[in-house]
Structure 1
Amino acid sequence: MTVHFVGAGPGAADLLTVRAARLLAEADVCLYAGTYLDAVLEHCREDARLVDTQDLDLDRIIEQIVAAYGAGLNVVRLCSGDPSVYSALAEQTRRLDAQGVPWDVTPGVPAYAAAAALVGAELTVPELVQSVVLTRAQARSTAMPESEALENFAATGATLVLHLAITRTGELAEKLAPHYGPACPVVVVFRASQPDELVLRGTLADIGDQVASAGVRQAAVILVGPALARHGDGESFLYAVSRDRSLKRR
């Protein structure tokens, strides 16, 4: 038996990998975080035991996983979006390793990808932006390394994806404006792919007021950068007419 950490994607039941859907259908026990995953949980069997972990600390979560594994049950630990970003995967698997419990990871659709898809945006536009930075704000949460100050990332001009930052949108926009300019486009996506999804489009100058007016306080991702403006005429070398395609890959 193996404990499966599964990316739940942004919340829509059909934005899962085929593997994720199969693992959920086979699970005897599924641990998940919060009610927004209700649609995803429809892939579970009716007799599966569902454990909402939003009110559990890490030790209690591990206790649940280890007990289920010890009983010979199929265990799925659902992670919001993709397990590689802000999922607490490292500390959970470190504890499982210490107890000799095997585990694996199935990736999921990350929140930023779902948000970009919803607005039809490519975050890396040729000759304009070729990097994407995934980061977060820090308030009542784990401290950020000093080298990862938001201004340092903004200085590169990369497309920024801000997680866990929605309650500080106006403040963060002010920090970013000197680097991107106040007219830089911003997209805020609340609950991408879910029935109550909401998209706010604006600029660094006005997005804070938009978010405040909409009353968005959680479950949103902020995208910032010139790539969101859909301008520029650069094109990828990969598909260029001038590219020599005579050398075939072996």
Structure 2
Amino acid sequence: MRDYTMNLGNISLRDTLESAVYIVGAGPGDPDLLTVKAQKLLASADVILFADSLIPEQILDICRPDAEIIKTANQTLEEILPTMIERVRSQKSVVRLHSGDPSLYSAIHEQMQLLAEANIPFEVIPGISAFQAAAAKLKVELTVPGLVQTIILTRISGRTDVPTREELTTLAAHQASLCLYLSARHVDDAQSKLLEHYPAQTQVAICFRIGWPDEKIRVVALEEMANCTHQEQLLRTTLYIISPALLPVSGRSRLYHPEHNHLFRSSHH
């Protein structure tokens, strides 16, 4: 087991941390992928609320021994919000820990709206998203010159409706690097929609619980995507990356090419 005690230098936020809510991205699972700011906030905050089913408990090793830890996996927003408001009004600093990055599928929009209405100050601290951690594990760049320059982050319609203009078949037409979140339960539907536009042999990385000790990554042809998901019995916290960039390529970024001029380097002749 790794030691997750963080050496945060001589900078302490404890004396300066305001009574506010800090909405913090915890990253995909690996505590080492927390930002330095997230570590400092966790080490300083009076109260930490976290979804215990989505965030590893080792992250809490960073927290103050006297911090109030509140698990929220079984709570609704209606239950969580009054707790945050009450603690801030009691002059406490509150960290609301979200898995991944708060800008993606974190349901923070409503939280921020209600905090603003209650005149509770808040700040959002970004985190590493699963698609970034997955690309790093796969040792790929999802934008390859001459091959693909667009990344689409989306999900298939389930309990949360996806607008019609964002239907998967429409997005698949771009043949971009497509990162499909929260869609394992609908994988057969997703595969058939993707096959309308991507070649059957397009590589798909099936990434289960990225950053956790039990993570699994399988790279298969698109036509095997659903079959592999069922065989491996993958359901929650599975990310699919469908991309031509998953195949070995010989593309080279113009930015570092010797014939490329840019602001900081003149061309060699």
Same fold (TM over 0.5): yes
Partner of 1:209: 227
Q: Secondary structure at the match of 1:223?
A: strand
- TM-superposed CA distance for 1:246, in Å, is 7.2
1:34 positional shift: 2.6
1:49 maps to a residue whose letter is E
Match of 2:106 among 87, 102, 108: 87
Partner of 2:245: 227
1:58-117 alpha-carbon deviations (Å, 9 max, x no partner): 111111110111111110001110011111111100000000000001110101111111
Secondary structure of residue in 1 paired with 2:140? coil
**Structure 1 unaligned regions, length at least 5:** none
Identity among equivalent pairs (%): 37
2:168 alignment partner, one of 125, 145, 150: 150
Letter in structure 2 aligned against 1:45: R
After superposition, where does 1:22-33 map in structure 2 within 5 Å? 22-33=40-51
- Following superposition, the deviation at residue 244 of structure 1 comes to 2.5
Query: What's the offset of the Cα at 1:171?
Result: 2.2
Corresponding position: 1:116 with 2:128: no
**SS of residue in 2 equivalent to 1:171:** helix
Q: Structure 1 counterpart of 2:68, which letter?
A: R
**Which one-letter code corresponds to 2:254 in the other structure?**
F
Aligned: 1:218 with 2:236: yes
In the alignment of these two chains, the number of paired residues is 247
1:78 alignment counterpart: 97
| CA spacing shift, 1:132–1:245, aligned 2, 3 Å | closer
- Counterpart pick for 2:84 among 55, 65, 72: 65
SS across alignment from 2:88: helix
2:259 corresponds in structure 1 to 242
Q: What's 2:199 paired with?
A: 181
CA 1:246–1:129: 2 relative to 1, 3 Å = closer
**In structure 1, what residue type is equivalent to 2:231?**
S
What TM-score results when the alignment is normalised by the length of structure 2?
0.88
- Does the CA contact (< 8 Å) of 1:11 and 1:39 recur in 2? no
Query: Contact between 1:128 and 1:227, CA under 8 Å: does it hold in 2?
Result: yes
How far, CA to CA, are the matches of 1:247 and 1:31 in structure 2? Answer: 45
Whether the 8 Å contact between 2:20 and 2:92 is mirrored in structure 1 is no
Query: Which residue identity does 2:129 align to in structure 1?
Result: P
Shift of 1:245: 4.6
- Superposed CA deviations along residues 134-164 of structure 1, whole A, max 9, x for unmatched, are 001111x221111101111110111100110
Tell me how large the CA RMSD over aligned residues is.
1.5
